[in-house]
Structures are given as structure tokens and as C-alpha cells.
Chains A and B, each alone.
Chain A
């Protein structure tokens, strides 16, 4: 009853919040495939077979030693102690020493040798996952938030690691120990043995049920904590907006409500856990009382020796952990299967954009859009349709259009960050889809409007794809992009920037991104509104320096300002996803009213130059 209820809950949760990705309790069908996913991952363990053998052997022997120790105490009590035999005590005592030491050493061997395979598995899968994710195209990454991917690379992998490394081992060890001890107990005195074995059944059943419910509450709590974290993030990043509108109390109200929700769920979890843990402690003690009662009666009747009774009580306590943990381990197994599914789901995604084989030996940089169109999957209207545009080698074209006219999409088609859904794009006569990605992307370099900087040194950020660029080349690129401020940072080009490093202004970031694009002198240079965050004076300097670069390369420039347009030989006006006019700036200015409207009134009040 409880189970079906919880399944419903989890389904409802899944339907309501499709974006938040949380594992669901798999149905019977899903479970088969889960086993399959987990089973597939076994190949990662192949290099570690010898170590695994050692681990398992040590585990088995360790159980044996642990089980035998109480039997030795029985022998001591029934033999030497009962009969006053001092000579018999010493060897048995030494045996106990030996077994005790052996158990400890075997445990050590088991734990020590398991680290290699377990962590090796996790590390290797993570490497492969990362490699695969880097190959998957933009369209995949647009759909998947990096947080979802991260949880696969961390949480899911450690779940798998824990289960394959410890779970499976303990599952089998516990079952073996349970069986071994039960057999020993049954052989010692079967009525008591039966009692103990019988008392294990409800414990396992209950703990399994508990673990399932517990996981559900935990997951709910995790989701709520995730929601709370989102609120926190918004309140921190949007602090200016909150302050500007004086909405402190409104925001606090939202946060307090979410935090209260978390408290309620956490308390539910506490209640559940308190009941279960109490049960886990009481059950063996009750068994102990019964063993004591029946055992004493048996001893009184002469059916049982005192030593056996003592051994019995010790062995009963030895069973508590294996019995109680079975539920936990089985749940862990279920989790691991779900995690394996989530991991293989990513690993099995076939990259939608794969490179061809052609290579351009001597690129000239002749770019043609031949009836190119693009539509986001599931969208009713295309972003781009029937785009015809020719950019001859060495020529620079400015793309001008209103907000949302598809300029950025257009530029993404050339380096195949997106693939056309109609028509084609060619470079030097090759369809870009026939070229190898390495070849294509070394011909085309792009600087984006929103520059992405990584938490690395300036040098690493600028060289990005050109690991072997010389200091001189880097300097030139930085000079052209007016980004020589980088040399004045506290540690020069070795200064860490990005999220984890020094924060730079928007204009500085854009200039570094520009330096990145022009480094290595690409044949085709795409600038997607790269200069928007620069003040006018700097922009003028950058533009002046860019002229030299663009004289040698084919350029496609998305522009908002007239000054940027002047870098181009010709201008293409993009409107509603297609190119309506192509011509020189002056021609378009006089002949096309829309164009005039887009660019004419753009005079800036900020420039130091014009105020001087």
C-alpha cells in the first residue's frame, strides 16, 4: 500500500516539474533495462580483475574468521572453564588472538585493494563522459542544463561507484554471513537457531520498505533544497533589482516559505528515520531476551551448554548489521541502476553534428550561403529562411538587422555550431558538413557578443585552441584587440580570470574574446556584435586595428553601430530571417528606409573624442 502510494507521488512530481531532473523509482520494465545499463559498465572493471579477486577472497576469509571467534569462546567456556583444564585454555586463547588478528588483517587487505578498482571505474567513466559531452553539439547543450550533466558526472557516478565497489560486495558478504551464522546457530541448537533466523525476516522486509520511503523523502528534500538554492541565487545575482524596487520583504517571503517547506519535509524524514532506527535497535534486543529465556530453559533442561548460550548471544548481535543493512544495500542497488541509466543515456546520445572527412589545404575563405535556412526543433517558424549570401575571399560583410532578426543564428551556421535545416553553407566550394570539424573550425574563428571566459590564466583563455601560439603572436592579438591591459594585471598573463579568478569589466572581457578570435589569423573571421560593451574611444582604436586583420581575412560582422558597419565592404540587411538588401553602406542609407532607421540616429554622447 505504502509503496504504490509513493510511486504515485514520484510520478506526479515528475510530471509537474519536467525540468528538474530527479531519478524516479523505476517500474518493472525500466528495471530490466537498468540492470542492462549497470551491467554494461562492468567493462570498466576489466583492468582490475586480479585486485578484485584479492578483495573478494579477503572478504570471504574475513567473514569466516569473524564467525569462528564466538565459537572459540564457546569452546573456552564449555571446555577448560567448565572442567578446570588450564592446559586447554592457553591454545584456545591463542587461537582467539590469531583469529582476531587475521580478521583485522583480512579487512585491511579487502579495503586497501578495493580502492583501486572502485575509483578507477569512477574516474574512467567520468573521463569518457566528459569526452563525449565535448563532442555533443550546441543543440544538445541547449536542452541540457549544465547542472543536470554535472549531477551525472558526480552524484550518479559516485552512486554507481559505491554500489559496485561496496554494495555488491556487502550484499554478497552479508548474505553469506547470514547463511553461515544461521547454519552455525541451527547446528548448535536448532530451536534457537530457528528463532534467530525467523526474526531476521521481518527486519529485512521492514528495512527494505523503509529505505524506499526514505529515499523518496530524501529526494523530495533534495528538490526543495535545489529550489531554495535557485531562490538564493536569484536574490544574490538580482540584488540590484531587488534593492532598486525595495522588494526585500517580497523576496524574503518567498525564501522563508521555501525554507519552511524544507523544514516540514526534513521533519517528515526525521520521524521516519527515528521510527526505523528505533525498530532496528529494539528488534535484536527482543530477540536477545527471547534467546536468553529459551536458552536458559534449555540449559536448565540440559539440552544446551552454558558456553553455547554465550556464543549464541554474541552471534545474535553479530547478525544485527548484516540483516539491517540488507534493505539499505538493495535500495542502493536500485539507485545505482537508475544512475547507470542516466549516465548511459548521455553516453548513448549520438552527436548530431559530426565532422566530414574533407580538409581544406589552402583555404581562401570564400563563404557562400546557398538558400540556407534554420528552424529550432519544434518551432513553428524558421529563424532563418532562404538566405543567399556570398562573401568573397578577403571581403568583409556587415550583417545588420533589428533585435531578433536571426543575426547570431546566421553566424553560428558557418563554424557548424548549428547545422542548417535547409540549403547549405559552403567554404571554398565545400559544403561545411563535408569538412572535418578540426579543419573547418581552424578556418573559421568567432568572437561572440557574450564572451565566455574560463577560470584559467589569461594566456590559456586567449590561446584556447592554439596551444602552441608564441608570445609574439599573443602580444599581437592582444594589441589589435586593445587588450594589453592583461599585461598589467597582478600576475600578467598568468593571472587567473573568470568566475574563480579576477573579475573583468564587460569591455575587457569582450576585448579578450576578440584577441582569442584573431589569434592564429583565421581565414574567416566572424564577429558577433563583439564591440558592444566597449566605450566609443576604445571601439575606435579596436576598429582601426581590425582593419588590418580584415584586409587579409574574410569577415562577417554583426553590427549595431554605424562605425562598425564602416569596417565592412558591403552590408547585408537581415529582416524577418532573410536577407532583403545587400549593398554599400552609403547606398543602403540613401535607398533603404529601414536601414536608415536602424543606423542613422545612432550618435553617441559618451565619447571623449567628440566632446573634446
Chain B
């Protein structure tokens, strides 16, 4: 970190380096629950506005203060990539070592051919024309023109080869990067995803990969060509004529300083523009997706006010960027034109004295044109390089994450499961938090239907998640048919244990596709049977296209209850030995729920089921009820016995009976 970044930026850099390290939950806010604090940075100085996020006071007034960790890496992270970025880059490039060597050779040839052209023009003027003027024939000239054509052709062919080869390498790298990052995200545990949030996963795989694509697309070619042209031209100028060459190269330091100034300014301007446009986009999209609330609460004038201010900020940032270019481009042109004039004047003088030929003068004028154009490209390229560097940094950070629920090194095969579950001395806590499950010993026989009852935060969902191995216990072990879950590979575990939550995510594609997600090979008939079994067949066949209806973005027009039914059908199709239902019926109205429960009786008959229930009616189908409190099981028994007893469950049941009377 350079010294001008200050502590805030330092901290940002640090966070970015380890974007997923568990953050401490501030004690005073525990009641908000861990979900709320997902991905949050513990506020260091309560009540103070974090530096760098103020913008203007007006903006802070409506936008509020972000408590979330900021993931943006300062753009000045610079060309010096961190070790792990370099490692990733090396990893990606290694398979293409040979191709890159060939590529280097090609580009050198290509540039040499390009550089030869003005020199050949000089030769034509100095050596080709005089014999003709003297009437000695056009032999030399024809040879030179032939050489020009050959050089032009060689340049063309090598250039095409270069563009195609570098393009292929670039695309191969991108494909590999995409596959690797996507696969890695899918392998990382749920606890990672809960902290990292889906928005960041999406931007890693879209905008960050795009930044690298952009660099590979245009930046690489531009940089290599520019550098080679710059160096080659300088050499040629000096070779042609040292004195004139020195005069032509005199402005070079000014040029470099000027470019450096521009580079710095433009990266600031670029960043401001990006931030400004991001705000415009967020406000725009949120206003449009939330238009119902906007209109219902007459929010339009205030929204317009905010939007116009954001839009004006964006305009100001853009203006700054454009004005910067308005200074830079003519500046380069000025330096170039002044050099041309100086070369004309000094070269004219030399030619006049006969120390330099007209051909050299002509070649100089041609070379100088080539010299100044790439400068403009280099500066454009800098932004691409910077964002690609930042993107690489974030991606390599993700790839270094290890799944907290690890795959076994030597998996135990379990082709068929009966569904017997056992908790042996299981203890569980989230990260540094207090124990959620202090000590659980529990045995569930194969085929048993267990209802799990208790207050919010009693640990019901955590218990269920341990069976689905979304987390591993801190101590003790969870066994399926006597096999520790840690010893089962993911495929085996998921084939036997399926958990349905109240989050009913529907993917793009048809309703049938969504049901089929439970068992990819299932036929249409099997899908309909599964839907019919849980009572979803009726509403699905009433949809405009039946099972072929597009589920659309997040389930589109389906109601929450209907989405839940589809998710249910999906679980039944999967046909696991152990089925966990975590408040899976909460969005259903009572008649639909009853329908589902009727189906459950038959479907759960030959499998182990764990049902986290909200409603008493759910308990009726259970063989056994577990009442949980503060992470412990306080009551355990068949529902009838618990009801006739004097425990909590019995009291609850009586209260319910009273309410019906």
C-alpha cells in the first residue's frame, strides 16, 4: 500500500484480500440474528460516517450510511499484482506457454515488417529514383517496390495470425476462468454463500470476468503493438540519422511525463464515472422494480429529484473524463506536430547542406506519424489493465477459499440407505458465536416421521442443516446408517438426504424442468405423478401451457404457495431415504396444506422424515415429536403420549383446543 492510502483504504484492501473471513457479530445487536449481519463489517466507530462513502451531504441524506463491507478494491492497486493474483495468472497462462512463444515471434516479425516500410520509402527516393533520372533503368526501384509489397504482405499475414492466435488463447483462458470460478462457487459451502451474498457471486462471474475479457480482447494487442512500435521507431530514427533522430526524440520525456499525468487523472475520472453510473443504475432499477410502492406512496417527485441529481453527478463525472481527453489528445498532437515542424526545419537545414537526403526526411515524416498514435492507445489501455487487475485480485481471492464442509478423501460407499440417523455428542456453533446446539444425542430409526417443534431460535433448523450436512458439527458426529456424514461424498449424501426449505427457488425454464431438477432423468409421466402425489397437478394443468409453462424469473406469476408446491413435487421426485421439510408448508393456505399432508402420510410411510412444523396439524402425521428449546431437546415421544402428559406440548395442544371451542 502506498503511503497516501490512509487507514480506511488500507482496511479496504485488507478486507478485499480476505473477503469471506467471518466477521464478528457486535454484541448489542445479537437480537437481530445472524442472517441480518450477513457479510457485515462490525461498525468500528458507531455513529461516524465512514470516509470515502460520503459523496455529498445531500446524497448521504437519502442514501443513508452503508454498514456493509465495501468490496471494491482501490483502483490504485496498480500493476503490481499480489502473489496470489500472479499465481492465478501463471496458472491460466501455463498451458499456453508454447503458443505464447510462437506469438512473440510472430509479433516481432510483424512489427519489423511494419517498421521497414518507411525505410523502404526512403530507399526508393534516395536509391531508386536517381538511376531513373539518370536514365539507368528502374531495376533498383522495382526491387524496392517489390520489397514494400512483400513487407506489407508479411505484416498483414503475421498480423492476422497474431490476432487469431491471441484471440484463441484469450478465449481459452476466459473459458477456463469461468469454469473454474463457477465450479468453485458451487463447491463452497452454504456458510460461505450466506456471508458472501449472491450479488457478489454474480458480479465476480460477470463484470469481473468481463473486465479480464476486455483486457484480453483489445488491451493486450494494443499494449504489445504500441510498445514494440515505440521502441522500434526510436531505433529506426536513430539509425537513419543520429542528429535528426535525436531532435525527433527530444520531446519523448515530455511525452512520457504527460502520459503519466493523464494516466493518473484518468484513473480517478474513470473510477468516479463508474461510481456515478452505478448509482444511476441502482436507483433506476429499484424505482422500476418497486414501481408499485413508488406509485402507491406518491414517491415520484422525490424520486425524480434524486434521479436528476444522480444523473447530473454522472454527467459531471463524464464531463470531467471528456475534458481530460480533450486536453490529452490535442496535447499529444501538439507534441507530435511541433516535432514534425522541428524535423522539417532542422532536417531541411541538413538536407540543404547535403548531410541528409530527401529520402531520409520523408522516412522521418512517416515514422513520426507511427510514433505518436500508439501513445494514445497506451493511455486508453491503462483503465482496462487496472480494472482487470482488480478483478483478478477478487477472483483469486474467491478461488483461495476452501469449502468449510470438505469432501472426504476416501469416501465410504453407501449405494442404498435405510435412513437411520444418529447424533452422537453433537455440538454446534456458528463461527465465534455462542453454542446453538450445546449437546445433542439423538437416534431416529429408519422410516420414522419426526416432527420438530419449538420457538424461533431454538435450533430446529440448525439440527436439520446438520443432517443435510450444510454445516459440520463442531464436536461429535452425525451418522446415516452408521456412516459418518463426513465420510460420504456429496453425490451419495444428496441422493439419500434432501432438504426442502421455505425458500422455493424456481429456475428459468418450464415447470416440468423445475420438477425434474429433483431427478434429471425423470420422464414427463413421472413428473406428473410426482406433482399429482402432492396435489400440484390441478393448478399446473390449469396454467396456460400446463407443465410447459415458463416458470420465469424467480417463479413469475406463480403465487408463493404454488411455488412451494412445485418445490415439493421436486423433492418427491428425488425420492430420498431421508426427507427434511423445514417449514416447507408455511406459504400454503390451510386447504392446500391439508392436501399436502394427506399426500405426506403415504409418501413418508417408507422413509425417514424430519418435519419442522409451525402448525399443530402437521404434527398429527408424525410418529414422534421432539420439542426443542435453547438448542436442547426437552420433550420426546409419540404425539398421543405428549398430549396426554403435562409438558409444554400438552399445554400447547390444550390451548389450541380451547381456541376452537
Contact = CB atoms under 8 A, between A and B. Distances in A.
Interface string B240-281: 000000000000000000000000000000000000010011
B319 A115 contact: yes
A310 B362 contact: yes
A96 B337 CA distance: 8
B92 interface: no
A404 B539 contact: yes
Contacts of A603: 615-617, 656, 659
A382 to B, nearest CB: 15
Interface in A510-540: 513, 516, 532, 535
B91 interface: no
Contact of A441 (B68, B298, B491, B494): B298
Interface in A446-496: 446, 448, 452, 454-460, 464-465, 467, 485, 488-491, 494-496
Tell which of B36, B325, B348 has the most Cβ of chain A within 10 Å: B348
B149 A81 contact: no
A239 interface: yes
Interface stretch (A5-13, A35-43, A358-366, A501-509): A501-509
B235 interface: no
Interface stretch (A72-80, A171-179, A325-333, A580-588): A72-80
A209 interface: no
A239 B201 CA distance: 11
A137 B295 contact: yes
Nearest to B325: A111
Contacts of B2: none
B307 A491 contact: no
B303 interface: yes
Size bracket of the A interface: 35 or more
B320 to A, nearest CB: 9
A247 B340 contact: no
Contact of A499 (B151, B286, B296, B493): B286
Interface in A266-298: 266-267, 270-271, 273-275, 277-279, 281-282, 285-286, 288-289, 292-293, 296-297
Interface in B161-186: 163-164, 167-168, 170-172, 174-175, 178-179, 182-183, 185-186
Given A417-B292, A499-B199, 17 more contacts: A93-B348, A94-B345, A122-B315, A123-B312, A135-B300, A241-B503, A248-B183, A250-B520, A415-B296, A437-B295, A448-B292, A457-B61, A488-B32, A501-B64, A600-B590, A607-B455, A608-B456
A315 to B, nearest CB: 11
A138 B365 contact: no
Contacts of B64: 456-460, 491, 494-497, 501
B290 A111 contact: no
A239 B193 contact: yes
B594 interface: yes
B329 A285 contact: no
26 contacts: A73-B361, A77-B348, A93-B341, A93-B344, A96-B340, A101-B337, A138-B295, A244-B499, A255-B178, A266-B167, A274-B159, A278-B163, A282-B152, A285-B155, A289-B149, A292-B145, A297-B141, A299-B129, A310-B358, A444-B296, A460-B63, A467-B302, A532-B587, A601-B590, A604-B614, A607-B455
Given A101-B334, A112-B326, A150 B281 contact: yes
A464 B293 CA distance: 9
B330 A314 contact: no
Interface stretch (B75-83, B429-437, B441-449, B554-562): B554-562
A238 interface: yes
A473 B591 CA distance: 41
Interface in A233-264: 233-248, 250-252, 255-256, 259-260, 262-263
Contacts of B327: 108, 112
Contact of B323 (A84, A112, A286): A112
Contacts of A241: 503, 505, 507, 517, 567
B390 to A, nearest CB: 19
Contacts of B618: 605
A293 B619 contact: no
B592 A403 contact: yes
B574 interface: yes
Contacts of B156: 278-279, 281-282, 285
B589 A69 contact: no
A467 B302 CA distance: 8
B46 A101 contact: no
Contact of A605 (B62, B157, B616): B616
A441 B296 contact: yes
Given A285-B117, A501-B68, A237 B554 contact: yes
B95 interface: no
A47 to B, nearest CB: 14
A604 to B, nearest CB: 6
Top 4 A-B pairs ranked by shortest CB distance?
Answer: A246-B494, A457-B64, A100-B337, A270-B167
Nearest to A598: B590
A440 to B, nearest CB: 9
Contacts of B361: 73, 77, 81, 310
B239 interface: no
A403 B562 contact: yes
Contact of A452 (B202, B292, B330, B554): B292
B290 A452 contact: yes
A547 to B, nearest CB: 19
B352 interface: yes
A602 B615 contact: yes
Contact of A598 (B175, B570, B574, B591): B591
A16 interface: no
A348 interface: no
B86 interface: no
B65 interface: yes
B284 A150 contact: yes
Interface stretch (A24-32, A126-134, A186-194, A390-398): A126-134
B547 interface: no
Contacts of B290: 452, 454
A502 B36 contact: yes
Contacts of A598: 589-591
Contacts of B129: 296, 299-300, 306
A4 interface: no
A403 B536 CA distance: 13
Nearest to B150: A289
Given A97-B338, A131-B304, A76 B297 contact: no
Tell which of B290, B501, B574 has the most Cβ of chain A within 10 Å: B290
B291 interface: yes
Nearest to A259: B178
A597 B448 CA distance: 29
B614 A503 contact: no
B591 A597 contact: yes
B52 interface: no
A450 to B, nearest CB: 9
B603 interface: no
B288 A150 contact: yes
Nearest to B618: A605
Contacts of A149: 284, 288
B76 to A, nearest CB: 23
Contacts of B141: 293, 296-297
A134 B337 contact: no
A70 B344 CA distance: 10
B549 interface: no
Contacts of B294: 134
B1 interface: no
A251 B509 CA distance: 13
B108 interface: no
A313 B148 CA distance: 13
Nearest to A464: B297
B455 A245 contact: no
Given A96-B344, A495-B67, A610 B655 contact: yes
A456 to B, nearest CB: 5
A454 B567 CA distance: 29
Given A244-B494, A403-B588, A460-B64, A271 B164 contact: yes
